[in-house]
Structures are given as C-alpha cells and as structure tokens.
Chains A and B, each alone.
Chain A
Amino acid sequence: MSKNKKMYNRNIIVAGLILFIALITFPVWNYYVFSGETSTAPEIKLSEKAKAAKECVRSKEYMKTEHMQLLDVWRDTVVREAKRVYVSPNGKSYNMSLSSGDNSCLGCHVDKAEFCDKCHNYASVSPYCWDCHIDPKEKK
C-alpha cells in the first residue's frame, strides 16, 4: 500500500521471512549444497534371463504400478488356499513365489539390488516383503 516506509520490529520479522524462504526452497538448496546426486530416475537393468524371457507375468505398464497388489494377492492365495500356480492372462503358468526357485520373481530378476531396490529407494518405499523373504543371492 504505502511505499518506502520503514518496517517495525524489523529484525525479528526479517529473520522470520528468511526462515520462511529457507523452508520453501529447502529441496533446491539441499540438492545444490548437499546432495548433488543425479536427478534422473534409475534405469532398471534386466537380467540376461529376464531379457531372454521377453515378458513378465503381466504387461510392463501393469507391473510398474500394480506389482505390489499382485504380490499381495499371490501371498494370500498361497498361504490361505495353498495354490501355487499363477496363470497369466496370456495363458502361461508361473510359480507364485517371490524368492524361491528358478520360476519365482527373483529367479528371473536375479539381481534384487538392481531390479527392486533401486526404484524403491528412489521413491522412498520400504516394502516389508524383505522382513520375511530372503534374497537368495545376498544369503551367500
């Protein structure tokens, strides 16, 4: 409203505003000052085996957003109904297992760190799958 008038309680208000700006811009200066880590999303490295298989149990897009639901359903089906075979929409059969045997998820995507963890870490997701399941490779 009025220009060129002095501010009252200047020090504390300016300090408050600086704090405000610091909070708002936190991600920016945090990146430039402290992290500097690449901002591009991690690229998934498919294992040779996965590459060779060409397709997963469902489409890539579906797996990208819904894999957790699928695994959840699998878990319940195995534990509650003792069914261990999943038939995908295109008719193929898979072993409903995250980590045991060659026909499981990790049997194909052999490198957990490269295939699972990268994105999970990037998006700060910590699924409790690994509270029980063991990465067969890490075990050794």
Chain B
Amino acid sequence: MSDELLKPEELIKIDHKIPSKDWMDTPVNIRKGMYCYASNPKSVEYVGLPHARAWNPLDDDWKLPENWKQIIHEGFKERLDKFRSFKVFMDICVRCGACADKCHFFIGTGDPKNMPVLRAELLRSVYRNDFTKVGKILGKIAGARELTIDVLKEWWYYFFSCTECRRCSVFCPYGIDTAEITIMARELLNLIGLNIDWIATPVANCYRTGNHLGIQPHAFKDMLDFFVEDIEEVAGGIQVEPSFNRKGADILFITPSGDVFADPGTYTAMGYLMLFHYLREKYGFDITWSTYASEGGNFGFFTSHETMKRLNSKMYAEAKRLGVKWILGGECGHMWRVINQYMDTMNGPADFLEEPVSPITGTKFENSKSTKMVHIAEFVADLIKHDKLELDPSRNDHLKVTFHDSCNPARGMGLLDEPRYVIQNVCNHFYEMPDNTIREQTFCCGSGAGLNAGENMEQRMLGGLPRANAVKYVHEKHGVNMLACVCAIDRAALPPLMEYWVPEVDVTGMTELVANALIMPGQVDRTTDLRGEEIPGLQSDDVKTEGDNVEK
C-alpha cells in the first residue's frame, strides 16, 4: 500500500492555513488517492437503483441524466418534507465554527471544505437558492448559489469524504449532525446514479447473498469450518460445532461478514465460536448462525434510508423464519447504529420474538425489549458480572491494550462501558487514550461509512491521523501494543492505519480477547493465543498452565 503513498513524516505536514479565495469560487480538486472509484453499474442495476452507468469521477463528463437538476431539486424537496432533522439543520446553523476542528478529515487534510460547517454549507447554499425567499432575492450575498455541475462534483467528493461519525454533532450547540446531512446528500446523489463502488457492490452482494462480501451459503459454512479447524489447533484440541440456519434454536447470531473474511477480524469470529461452544458445554446455550442473514453491517445505510431498510429486513425475516426467541448481535459499528436507531422503526414491530433474557444468568435485557436484539458486549458483560465465565486474564498479559470507541456505538447508542468492563476483566494491562479522543469524543478510524476502499488510501491515512495519533500517545507512554475495538470496519481499517502511523500496534476485537482468556472445558496444553502465537510464559516446557490437567 505505501509504495505510492508519501512517508508518514511527509504526509503529516498538514497545512491548516485558510485560502484567501472564497470557498464558493474554489472548484473541487478530485485527485488520486483521495477518492473512491465510481460504482459498478452492474451493482447499481442489481438492486434496481436508478441511472446505472459506467462513469469516472476524473472525467469531465459524468454522463448525468438530462434532467438531473430537476431530479435533485425534487428529491431535495421530498426529503425536506420527510425529515425534520434535514429541514431544521438547513435553517439554523449560525456558523459559530465550533465544529470546524472536530472533524478528523479536516484535522488530517486541512481542506476547509472538510470542516463540518462548510460540508453542510455545500448543501445549504443550494437549499437557500432553491427553497428560501431571501436566497432567491439576494443570491450570493445571502450565501445562496445555483446547483451547477461544479457544485454537484463538490457534493460527490465531500459527501464521500465524510464518515458519518457524528463527532461534530457532539460539539454543535444545536446538535446539527453532519451525518444526517451526508445521509441526505448521498440519497440525492444516488438518485442520479452517483455512488462509490465500495458501497454499491457490497450492497448488491448483501442483497443477493446475504452479506457484503458476496459469500454464498456453502462458502460461508466452509469459512466457518476453517475456523473450527483453526480453533482445534490453537485452543488445545477443542472441537466447536457451529450450527447454521437451524430452526428452533433459542437465539440467532448476526455479525458482520468482514470478520469471517479477513484478519484480524477472523480471530474475533473464532472468539465467537469458542464463546458459544463454552456456553453450550457449560450451560446448554443454544444459538445458530444464518447464511441468509449473514451480515450485521448495512452499506444500504450509506446509500439511502430505503436501501438500508431493504438490507436490514433480513434480520427480522430470518429470526421469524427460524423461530428463535431473540437476536444476538456481534461487534460492529454502523450495524449497531442501524439496529439501535432504525431497525425497529423500519422493519418492526418484532412481536414474533420474545423480550431478550439471558438463558444463563436470567438477566432481562430491558433496554432491548422492543427491538429484541442484544449486543455481544452487553451479553458478555452480564456473563462476567454473574461470574459465569472461567477466565484467566494473564493469558493476555503479553498485551497492553487500549480501546477505540467506534463512532456509531459511541454516538448513536452509548455503548461505552460494556466493552471496557469486558476487556478489563480479560486483560490485566489496559490503558485509556486521552480524554478528548475516546468515548463520545472518539475519533473515527477514517474509513467508515463506506470509505474503506484501497484506492483512497491517502484520504484514509489522513482521516485516521487523529485516531492514530492518540494510539501513538499511549503506545509511547504505556507501551500499548494492542488496539481493541468492537467494529468490523475498524478491524479492516485500523491495521493499515496502524501499520502506517504506529506500526508497533496491532488490532483486535473484544471477543478475541475474551476467547484468549477463556478457560475452555476440556482444553489441553493451550499455550498459544487465537493467532497461534505462543503466549510468553506458557510454552510447553514451562509446565505451569492454567489447565492443571497436564502431567506435572
């Protein structure tokens, strides 16, 4: 990846000087490394979205439909009528500037249009021109401008340079949420076929095969079977037996397919399998995976509300078909924003499910009694609290862990202390990053909301700089060597980010750490972690293992 990229010490020389030329007169500069490729027309067509065509952002001609201005205008109006958030946020910004330096993309690139306020002004300027009297009369003086092809290109570039992380919204005195504005802008762009392929193709895949990566059912099972073998190897001969599409199971498990596919997410997926196996052996825990609903994430959320709903529908549909009691959700960021803030409204009510109760501790998950979906961190925290897991945190002693709050669980849900509680119970060395970079003020990985492509690596490295910088701080101060997270996109996005800025730090999921520390029933001679690396102090010649059933 880094052969085309500048060296970190060159890239970090960011210029935050504001240009003298008015932003309205500065056309967008779309350049290599800073944008994602246009959507593949086949993917757009597959899900029936309009104006599928091959086009290239670097070309002058974007092959727009003839009446594109009209489509945008009408789409704009429709959304103002449907979303109060949109209308209010178009009207009430006072441009106080509090949001300006809160955006990781602005911090990383210094591009003034990456200030959340200007990102929103790109839409507002057209809104004023099209929908307000003052804007119509006073024009540019009132901050209004016509929608031209240059403005449209600016929209496309900057609304696909926003990861919908909501950090700006925390600081805005009116709660103006740029994610909300970006969501609307992307809906408008999709109306005329302007998407990026890193979103469009996963959407089409997910629609067809049930997951973003396009893994077909048999292959999905195969991949989990590989994990079964791996676990046997690294976990001291344990034979886990995941079940798929099984009717009558108590609980349905849904997690992002990214963790099935690529390291280090795969270790988290193995962690799930081991945890479920442990619970089944000890307490008769009954859970099934699904190949139809084999995706927790939802790239439809980065396309339009409608596409989000279409993809999300599989979760409840599958839960209903299998007749489970409730759904357990794996570690993922935007998946949980969708589940927490949209799913029940869009595809509920889930009256065919039961209010979630942990079959092991009897804990009622009151907070999810309507949606009927529980987060794995909530579930495991409850298990640990009730002392239902036999854990040896010293098995993670070689790790100095910090925790990256993923944007969506942090600011669209408030899942902050559950993963921390879990991690601190399975690891002895835990260090927080500085206050202004965690919890509700957490910095994005720089690759969320569909920007996790390969071709925009420079953009990703710059966007992830604030996060990487905070990791670097704890790395230098405390020797942190492991960055934990509860998000599959993080697990795909953070490793290259770390490799670039803080190469000594690795990335892990919460459940991987849990499974590392979990004392599996019947395990023999388990001296490695899930990655197959020997745990210092546990080598076979060093007889003391936690199992105690090895010959002394």
Q: Quick check: do A and B touch in the complex, using CB within 8 A?
A: yes
CB <8 Å contact, A1 and B84: no
Q: Mark B292-306, 1 if CB is under 8 A from A, else 0.
A: 000000000000000
Roughly how many angstroms separate A118 CA and B84 CA in the complex, as a whole number?
53
CB <8 Å contact, B77 and A8: no
Residues of B within 8 A of A5 (CB): 81
Roughly how many angstroms separate A5 CA and B77 CA in the complex, as a whole number?
14
Q: Mark A1-18, 1 if CB is under 8 A from B, else 0.
A: 110010010000000000
Roughly how many angstroms separate A2 CA and B84 CA in the complex, as a whole number?
13
Roughly how many angstroms separate A2 CA and B80 CA in the complex, as a whole number?
10
Residues of A within 8 A of B131 (CB): 1
Which residues in chain B, 57-85, are within 8 Å of chain A measured between CB atoms? 77, 80-81, 84
Roughly how many angstroms separate A25 CA and B23 CA in the complex, as a whole number?
43
Residues of A within 8 A of B84 (CB): 8
Residues of B within 8 A of A1 (CB): 77, 80-81, 131
Which secondary structure characterizes the binding site on chain A?
A: loop
Residues of A within 8 A of B80 (CB): 1
B341 CB, nearest partner CB in chain A, Å: 18
Q: Mark A33-66, 1 if CB is under 8 A from B, else 0.
A: 0000000000000000000000000000000000
- Assign chain B's interface to a size class: under 10
Roughly how many angstroms separate A134 CA and B475 CA in the complex, as a whole number?
77
Across the interface, name the chain B residue whose C-beta is closest to A9.
B84
Across the interface, name the chain A residue whose C-beta is closest to B87.
A1
Residues of A within 8 A of B77 (CB): 1
Across the interface, name the chain B residue whose C-beta is closest to A2.
B81
A125 CB, nearest partner CB in chain B, Å: 36
Which residues in chain B, 79-96, are within 8 Å of chain A measured between CB atoms? 80-81, 84
Roughly how many angstroms separate A5 CA and B81 CA in the complex, as a whole number?
10
Roughly how many angstroms separate A128 CA and B518 CA in the complex, as a whole number?
79
Across the interface, name the chain B residue whose C-beta is closest to A5.
B81
Residues of A within 8 A of B81 (CB): 1-2, 5
B66 CB, nearest partner CB in chain A, Å: 26
Residues of B within 8 A of A2 (CB): 81
Across the interface, name the chain B residue whose C-beta is closest to A8.
B84
A75 CB, nearest partner CB in chain B, Å: 46
Roughly how many angstroms separate A1 CA and B90 CA in the complex, as a whole number?
14
A6 CB, nearest partner CB in chain B, Å: 12
Roughly how many angstroms separate A29 CA and B84 CA in the complex, as a whole number?
34
Interface centre among A1, A2, A5, A8, by most chain B C-beta atoms within 10 angstroms, is A1
Roughly how many angstroms separate A92 CA and B245 CA in the complex, as a whole number?
110
A9 CB, nearest partner CB in chain B, Å: 9
Roughly how many angstroms separate A8 CA and B81 CA in the complex, as a whole number?
11
Roughly how many angstroms separate A2 CA and B78 CA in the complex, as a whole number?
10
Which residues in chain B, 14-58, are within 8 Å of chain A measured between CB atoms? none
Roughly how many angstroms separate A92 CA and B11 CA in the complex, as a whole number?
84
Across the interface, name the chain A residue whose C-beta is closest to B132.
A1
A61 CB, nearest partner CB in chain B, Å: 44
Roughly how many angstroms separate A48 CA and B461 CA in the complex, as a whole number?
90
Roughly how many angstroms separate A88 CA and B77 CA in the complex, as a whole number?
73
Q: Mark B111-135, 1 if CB is under 8 A from A, else 0.
A: 0000000000000000000010000
B497 CB, nearest partner CB in chain A, Å: 42
Roughly how many angstroms separate A1 CA and B84 CA in the complex, as a whole number?
13
Which residues in chain B, 229-251, are within 8 Å of chain A measured between CB atoms? none
Roughly how many angstroms separate A2 CA and B131 CA in the complex, as a whole number?
11
Roughly how many angstroms separate A58 CA and B80 CA in the complex, as a whole number?
65
B75 CB, nearest partner CB in chain A, Å: 15
B496 CB, nearest partner CB in chain A, Å: 45
Residues of B within 8 A of A8 (CB): 84
Roughly how many angstroms separate A8 CA and B84 CA in the complex, as a whole number?
10
B131 CB, nearest partner CB in chain A, Å: 7
Roughly how many angstroms separate A71 CA and B80 CA in the complex, as a whole number?
63
Across the interface, name the chain A residue whose C-beta is closest to B77.
A1
B129 CB, nearest partner CB in chain A, Å: 15
Q: Mark A56-99, 1 if CB is under 8 A from B, else 0.
A: 00000000000000000000000000000000000000000000
A17 CB, nearest partner CB in chain B, Å: 16
Roughly how many angstroms separate A11 CA and B485 CA in the complex, as a whole number?
43
Roughly how many angstroms separate A2 CA and B308 CA in the complex, as a whole number?
27
B39 CB, nearest partner CB in chain A, Å: 32
B9 CB, nearest partner CB in chain A, Å: 52
B246 CB, nearest partner CB in chain A, Å: 43
B127 CB, nearest partner CB in chain A, Å: 11
Roughly how many angstroms separate A17 CA and B405 CA in the complex, as a whole number?
40
Roughly how many angstroms separate A2 CA and B82 CA in the complex, as a whole number?
11
A85 CB, nearest partner CB in chain B, Å: 59
Q: Mark A93-120, 1 if CB is under 8 A from B, else 0.
A: 0000000000000000000000000000
Q: Mark B252-269, 1 if CB is under 8 A from A, else 0.
A: 000000000000000000
Roughly how many angstroms separate A5 CA and B80 CA in the complex, as a whole number?
13
B91 CB, nearest partner CB in chain A, Å: 12
A1 CB, nearest partner CB in chain B, Å: 7
Roughly how many angstroms separate A140 CA and B77 CA in the complex, as a whole number?
78
A50 CB, nearest partner CB in chain B, Å: 55
B136 CB, nearest partner CB in chain A, Å: 13
Closest 3 CB pairs of A and B: A2-B81, A1-B131, A1-B80
A-B contact pairs, 7 of them (CB 8 A): A1-B77, A1-B80, A1-B81, A1-B131, A2-B81, A5-B81, A8-B84
B residues with CB within 8 A of A:
77, 80-81, 84, 131
